[in-house]
Amino acid sequence: MTFAGWLTIVLFVGMLSALAFPLGTYMAKVYSGERVFLTPVFGWPERFIYKLLRVDSRREQDWKAYARSLLIFSLAGWLLLYLVLRTQDAFFVPHSVNPQGFESAPWNVTFNTVSSFVTNTNWQFYSGETTMSYLSQMIGLTVQNWLSAGVGIVVAVALVRGIVSRSGKSLGNFWQDIVRTILYVLAPISIIGAIVLVSQGVIANFSNYLTVHTVTGLTQTIAMGPTASQLSIKMLGTNGGGFFNVNSAHPFENPTGFTNFFEMLLVLIIPAALVFMFGRMTGNRRQGYAIYGTMMLMFLGAVVVAYVAEAHGSPAQHAAGLHTHAIAGSTGGNLEGKEQRFGIAGSALFDVVTTVTSCGAVNSAIESFTGIGGAVPFANLSASEVIFGGVGTGLYSILLYVLLAVFIGGLMVGRTPEWLGKKLEAREIKLAGLGILITPLAALFATALAVATKGGRASISELGKGPQGFSESFYAYLSQANNNGSAFAGYTGFIQPNAGNAGSHGVTFADVLGGLVMLFARYGPILFALAVAGALAGKRITPVGLGTMRTDNPTFAVLLIGVVILVGALTFFPALLLGPVVQGLTGHLY
Amino acid sequence: MPEQIPAAHERKAISLFQGDIVRRALLDSLKKLDPRVQVRNPVMFVVEICSVITTVTWLIQAFGGKPLGGGSEPAWYTFVIAVWLWLTVIFANMAEAFAEGRGRAQADTLRSMRKDTVAQMRDGSSKAAAELTRGDIVVVPAGELIPGDGTVIEGIATVDESAITGESAPVIRESGGDRSAVTGGTRVTSDRIEVEITQEPGHSFLDRMIALVEGAERRKTPNEVALNILLAALTLIFMIVVVTLRPFGLFAGTSISETTLIALLVALIPTTIGALLSAIGIAGMDRLVRRNVLALSGRAVEASGDVDVLLLDKTGTITIGNRLASEFIPMPGVAESELAEVAQLASLADETPEGRSIVVLAKQYGIREHDMASIQAEFVPFTAQTRMSGVDYDGHQLRKGAGDSIVDMVIREGGAAPPELQQQLDRIGREGGTPLAVSRDTQIVGVVYLKDTIKEGMKARFDQLRAMGIKTVMVTGDNRLTAAKIAEESGVDDFLSEATPERKLALIREQQADGRLVAMTGDGTNDAPALAQADVGVAMNTGTQAAREAGNMVDLDSNPTKLIEIVEVGKQLLITRGALTTFSIANDVAKYFAILPAVFIGTYAVGGAGSGSKGPLHVLNVMGLGSPRSAIVSAIIFNAIVIPLLIPLSLRGVRYRPIGASALLRRNLLIYGLGGIIAPFIGIKLIDLIVHNLLGA
């Protein structure tokens, strides 16, 4: 551990909070239809888009109408992306946007990839530089990076509207919300982000792959492409799907320590801002602070554990008598699978930032983390995306947990539970319960199928049997069920013998199961969250009294952490035992 | 002679462990094993299915077959698990049966009062009491039982209601006014009354009471339904966890027997709260019955925990109720004795304590007592419209009443109010007294100062309610000034002065429109609309039949302060549910640490899973439990016996403390959350010490 390492962490948390707060206020204004400083810039294109889409943006939608629009929008996006990816080598595609002449990946891999990008998961069985044409990356994957992020955000906004609405059943208008999200929230930050990244050395071009001669006399192919624009939204929209296979460890995706810091800010800025937005929209900012505090506490816990564990080094290093403390030029610790330019703190922090959210980008190999350090991403995923979580996803997921916490805690103060003045009754509990149930259901059943069948075991290497194989399988489906997208490596769904799509084949079992898990675990909770919003909308509001359980103080934050950890930990505890815990408890290699 | 009927006070003494209640509860808990009963409780239904599967497995093993689902567990192990699973279900049934048993004992007492009497009709005919219908008019002389619920339409009598209220002193029941309701099964002890029956056959107050305490009409309350859904969702989550654990285990080379998986499932699902939930609800009703309050639905009990605003009648609740005359204040030009005489005459026919106190005070001025009959005065009774009473005597109209009513009347009749009057009215009002203006024809002769005494300890009570988050509103017919003074002295939060039934109703509606839950008490017929409108309406048993039907609770003691206790019972009920839910979920941590290391003890052992050597996960056996089987058995035993151990708590209820919601939450989280995590570690360890020794393995 180094002073610089801790300083990075403290600075990061400070800057995040300082930036997220005003952004939250800004977003609350955007979604309340108030005029913001960007209205003069985007007002005109906004109206133009409505005209183009032929939608009446002022028509109020109840939860069913809202959900219908959302599903139609997502289905259209899914079909379009599938079409783009499957025709990337078609005759009408110009060579300039596919300079390497990549064929399309097979249907099963494409099914997985499309489902992955539409659900904001960005799980990647493929590797970008050997599979995707520039056109596929730009008008296919990048577009979904924007749209899937937008869908997550509008669901959170709709849920908040339902929670605070005092009359009527309306949750707003989906088309208006998605257009405003893209224009007023994602576009400005993403454009600035891309420019900053380019300034640091992230590439943005259409050139052919370069062939260079290395100092040792060998030749090496260096992949090129329009990276910066996709990278910026990849982080900002908590997508996480890398342009290149090694994701944010690649020098063209994450060239410096500064970009590393900057990219982490991009990942958390919207999930954090949404919490402040929630507080402002409820009319009591403290409601937002309580949830922010809850999230931040769990986040810091994860960061500290990961940083300390990685800085301490692995048991193997200690057994070999190697130095693990920091020396000039090296941060020390367990540097296996990490980039020296990020160091231990930059890697541990990045790992936590991208696994608490649904981002799933990686700048180091999670598989090479120490036992305890590697358990942190597992634990983060087990918490089901409520520690900031994905854009929108994080807020609506934790609000479902808040509902459960309020129900149990509310009883303990001697009133039938109420949340922000609204009584929680059978309908809300049923919907929230089911919404929370889906992710563990999908993750555990898919893992069980994968480890119990030959088709599933085909994805783990012969070496990876035992707890390592279990960890890989479990992480793969836990990650896809959480729409996270980070991988423990080793779990295969696509085999490219010639480093290209020619002659490649997908592992149908893993591709299809994973794809279904992502779709189910994305749209299931979304529908339940919208239904909860519908159930709460227009409920009578009881004024707060001394006897009302408050949801804006530290006591409630503790209760909320308890519920999140108990439900998350209790659900995944047995599975965690058989994977990372066994591995952490033994020096035996499997 | 009236039969010896146990009084309601004795009901309070029915103990939880009285012999016949225990016997009956034990029997009932076996009867309730019927799956048609169990299916109403999803958590316990799952346990019952698990018990059946384990029993079948044991039978197969006992006849030399292989256990279902593989594994190499011995038959005795399956047997022990099966027995404890059945006990878990039986304990749950027992909790419910105990709660019902107490109610049933009370119902039996009540039932013994339901005598088949013959009613004497007004027209001279007679009719069996069971056949009386609404509108029948019966005559009840002294010594007879009143055959059904009704309203006194003629006469006045003393009635012994001890059978229902437990109060041994007879009460007066008379036609007209607010004391006209009589209950079937009570006995007239003097005089003779005519009663108009207001019930249909089989729907008497007594019938309703029996059904209520017996739990026959029990339906799940909204909050119970919601909690049941939460428990079902948790059960579903743990079923997924357990079902997927088998393939996970197989991948790790560990075959987990189905009996062990079932044990794990039952240990994890929230059986503790699932078992006690309905007992908690029944006990809540029961606690009210023991306070002599009949809640007509479980929903009303639940709602009483949520009350935000309490409307309290000033008289009888906040003040002792007897405002006594303490001073005569004559207007200029009138002698004090003259005022005393007019006031005395105006009060002669007034049997209220106020009226009598005026007569008593007048005596001190040497005014001799008049006899109404001998002086041939005509009595003008008080009405809510005129708000005054008096006599017409010797060609004069003598009146006393509220200041503004008298002034209005005098001005209407062509007189004028002396300027001193308003000063006096204001002064008395400011001092918390009640002024009564006294007039003779168009002349206002003076003011009687009525002093109202606030009951002791009211301020503390209101502070307590404030800490509970409940706003108190005093309702009084007094004018603003008087009301303000008393409100200030008693510490009540707000007041409604010059209240009329309409204004009361409007106040309730207004509070409800703001989303508040309102509770109130009432007795008169004109309280009925407000009682019906309030979320919790407690009717006084002494009140009119209309009031008793409008409210959703009846207080047999007719004690308006009872509302505070009712709110506490409601809160206790909800807290008990929440606390035991938290406890139940928190328990799972220890159960995991007991069962999972036992299941995976050989997993990834150096010599292989079957080698008998311990794998890496055995270090999670933090409790140091004796052996894998004793660990699992101990967890299941703990899971089962925690239910009977918590029966007394669920029947008594977790204590409610008015310390504010946040402090209360902190306290209960600490006791039932943290305690729920720690307690099973200790409990399972202790049980394991015994089990492990018994098994000798």
- The arithmetic mean of pLDDT across residues B334-353, rounded, is 83
- Amino acid making up residue A400: L
**A215 CB-near residues (< 8 Å, 6+ apart):** none
Give dist(CA A582, CA A231) in Å, integer.
36
Contact flag B471-A559 (C-beta cutoff 8 Å) = no
Q: Is the pTM of this model over 0.90?
A: no
What are the tokens at B266?
Answer: 């039952």
What are the tokens at A38?
Answer: 């960007």
**Percent of chain B scored above 90 by pLDDT?**
26
Residue B225: its chain A contacts at CB < 8 A? Answer: 426
What is the pLDDT confidence band of residue A508, given thresholds at 50, 70 and 90?
A: very high
Q: Do the Cβ atoms of B668 and A409 come closer than 8 Å? A: no
Q: Are strands B434-440 and B309-313 parallel, antiparallel or unpaired?
A: unpaired
| Confidence (pLDDT) at B4 | 39
pLDDT in tens, A24-83: 999 999 999 999 999 999 999 999 999 998 888 888 999 999 999 999 999 999 999 999
Give dist(CA B133, CA B110) in Å, integer.
21
Contact flag A566-B306 (C-beta cutoff 8 Å) = no
What are the tokens at B606?
Answer: 């150096």
What is the pLDDT confidence band of residue B202, given thresholds at 50, 70 and 90?
A: confident
List, as ranges, residues 616-655 from B with C-beta within 8 Å of A: 616-617, 619-620
| Confidence (pLDDT) at B611 | 61
| Confidence (pLDDT) at B70 | 66
Q: Do the Cβ atoms of B603 and A582 come closer than 8 Å? A: yes
pLDDT in tens, B613-629: 788 888 899 998 989 99
Q: Do the Cβ atoms of A202 and A253 come closer than 8 Å? A: yes
Contact flag A451-B468 (C-beta cutoff 8 Å) = no
Give dist(CA A478, CA A219) in Å, integer.
39
| Confidence (pLDDT) at A387 | 92
If one compares A292 and B64, the residue with the highest pLDDT of the two is A292
Q: Answer yes or no: is pLDDT of B374 > 80.
A: no
CB of B608 less than 8 A from some CB of A: no
CB of B575 less than 8 A from some CB of A: yes
Contact flag A416-B245 (C-beta cutoff 8 Å) = no
What are the tokens at A246?
Answer: 């090694």
Q: Do the Cβ atoms of B667 and B659 come closer than 8 Å? A: yes
Give dist(CA A509, CA A514) in Å, integer.
8
Residue with tokens 């564990």: A309
| Confidence (pLDDT) at B114 | 66
Q: State the CB neighbour count (10 A cutoff) for residue B684.
A: 27
Give dist(CA B425, CA B403) in Å, integer.
7
- Amino acid making up residue A249: A
Burial class (CB in 10 A: 0-12, 13-18, 19+), B369: exposed
Give dist(CA B135, CA B138) in Å, integer.
10
| Confidence (pLDDT) at B320 | 67
pLDDT in tens, B584-603: 999 999 999 999 999 998 88
| Confidence (pLDDT) at A575 | 92
DSSP state of B4: -
- Amino acid making up residue A388: F
- The arithmetic mean of pLDDT across residues B253-278, rounded, is 93
DSSP state of B429: H
From the list A407, A434, A444, the residue facing B244 with the nearest CB is A444
Contact flag A407-B226 (C-beta cutoff 8 Å) = yes
- Mutation site for A-interface testing, chosen from B220, B238, B240 by largest number of A Cβ within 10 Å: B240
Mean pLDDT lowest for which of A348-352, B225-229, B299-303, B533-537?
Answer: B299-303
Distance from CA of B35 to the nearest CA of A (A): 24
Q: Do the Cβ atoms of A259 and A200 come closer than 8 Å? A: yes
Q: Answer yes or no: is pLDDT of B429 > 90.
A: no
Q: How far, rounded to the nearest angstrom, does the alpha carbon of residue B271 sit from its chain's CA centroid?
A: 27
From the list B225, B230, B666, the residue facing A555 with the nearest CB is B666
B313 in active site: yes
Q: Do the Cβ atoms of B57 and B68 come closer than 8 Å? A: yes
Q: Answer yes or no: is pLDDT of B147 > 80.
A: yes
DSSP state of B308: -
If one compares A66 and B177, the residue with the highest pLDDT of the two is A66
List, as ranges, residues 488-547 from A with C-beta within 8 Å of B: 540-543, 545-547
Mean pLDDT lowest for which of A42-51, A544-553, B515-524, B601-610?
Answer: B601-610
Instruction: Please report, for chain A, the start and end positions of each structural domain, with discontinuous segments joined by +.
Output: 3-584
Q: Answer yes or no: is pLDDT of B166 > 80.
A: no
pLDDT in tens, A178-189: 999 999 999 999
